[in-house]
Chains A and B, each alone.
Chain A
């Protein structure tokens, strides 16, 4: 079966620092934390696009005198 995972390389000392500070209560592993951060980044981009599109609609309604 084709894997849906990918290996990446990270500086060990950075991993150690993040592991010591953030892994434990909220994140069970460094992988979990990284996935969370990466998905949050992508999701922020998506949310920003929604906000931009909504602003255009509001501007058009304003121009029409409805807002």
Chain B
């Protein structure tokens, strides 16, 4: 019998508490909700790290983000992933990434995929702060930097400066795009991604397929259609207003005043991404693949809207608005539809999927299959770990990457965030404090604290062993020999 196909849909920045099936008041995700009725829906799924470059090693390779060493970025050459395992098992494989700069071929994410489209030319992603080659155009930048530094000395001048700077920059930027707002869109829209998927599915093939689609519609900069605002039952924005809201991303001190508008735009963008779920399900029906395809949908990480003083998802923080993601597995022939309230880390997703497909998980996976628990309904309370490097706001910044990490450990409803840079521990009871506003007094919870620290200790012993470092280096050298143009050498 032919094994089932696997369709993996990841939606960038989709936080769980903005999904209507998980209790959100706005109807943002009608397509996700409809599919969830026949699926295993995880109410407490956690990302392995945040942002995207710390989230995906867990999703695709069942690895803790720093398990290869915090100097390693992307997927190293020897990593076994869902794609490499399924390709070896005879699956046809394809991936379409809507140009997320951290999921490119350049970072090794093409491994195991026969077809891989990331809308890049294979070059290193652009950095935001490219230095001026000849210094000729930098005088304005330097002047502005000096003025900003001086203005930020007092709160009043700081506010005045930031307001003026935002007004000037937004005006100048919007003049550039007026009448051609499409050019301000940074990523391919979901429709384009789905069309590529449809074309790939048109090719007749005997083998089962594994397809991964990564949508960026819910990621800033966000541009939602009037239909999407209507869909969530909210008034919309015109292009110029959405452009202004997207520009606020760089002026967080001002953005907080527009939080309601930013959330409305976020919700409409989720609606945009959710439409693609419906389109893909329809495609599978039309092509006669619906009955033979396991569908998995999850957010790679969440998004912050000032819950803990920031906006977005970088540099890494490990609060629930960033870690708690929606996750469903639609496999009606294998798993009975149900809602799972026990916490589940996405590091366990890949081994779980492989067991559903009847393929052995490789030794390199660090998670474990949860099929037995889904089937029996009796769940082990495995500690859930998420991690990242605290100051790492960009993969290209090597200095910030080789720095103190940040670790979240959760057992049941207790969660601890270990901040190695500041030496702090914060302990939360998520049952009584789901938004992590009131850390518990550590000396009143010694036993729980010790359990969480012991889980952290075990994590370091088992997941940060560096045992494979020599092999990793050797495989990188092999890549260099194969062709210098595609070799990934850190920091160059």
Interface on A for B, CB 8 Å cutoff? 1-6, 27-28, 31-32, 35-36, 39-40, 42-43, 45-47, 49-50, 53-54, 56-58, 60-61, 64, 66
Contacts and interface: CB of A to CB of B under 8 A. Distances in A.
A61 B457 contact: yes
Interface string B411-454: 00000001010010100000000000000000000100110011
Contacts of B449: 64
Nearest to B481: A28
Given A43-B69, A46-B69, A53-B420, A5 B453 contact: no
A46 B70 CA distance: 6
25 contacts: A1-B122, A2-B123, A2-B124, A3-B123, A4-B106, A4-B123, A27-B477, A31-B480, A35-B480, A35-B489, A40-B473, A43-B71, A43-B466, A46-B402, A49-B403, A49-B405, A50-B69, A50-B70, A53-B460, A54-B457, A56-B423, A57-B460, A58-B457, A60-B453, A66-B454
Closest 10 CB pairs of A and B: A54-B460, A46-B71, A2-B123, A46-B69, A46-B70, A42-B71, A50-B464, A66-B450, A1-B123, A47-B466
B469 A47 contact: yes
A6 B425 CA distance: 41
Contacts of B464: 50, 54
A54 B446 CA distance: 19
Most buried by B among A2, A31, A39: A39
Contacts of A35: 476-477, 480, 489
Contact of A39 (B423, B473, B484): B473
B454 to A, nearest CB: 6
Contacts of A64: 446, 449-450, 453
A43 to B, nearest CB: 5
Interface of B: 66, 69-72, 106, 121-124, 398, 402-405, 407, 418, 420, 423, 425, 446, 449-450, 453-454, 456-457, 460-461, 464, 466, 469, 473, 476-477, 480-481, 484-485, 487-492
A40 B123 CA distance: 24
B490 A39 contact: yes
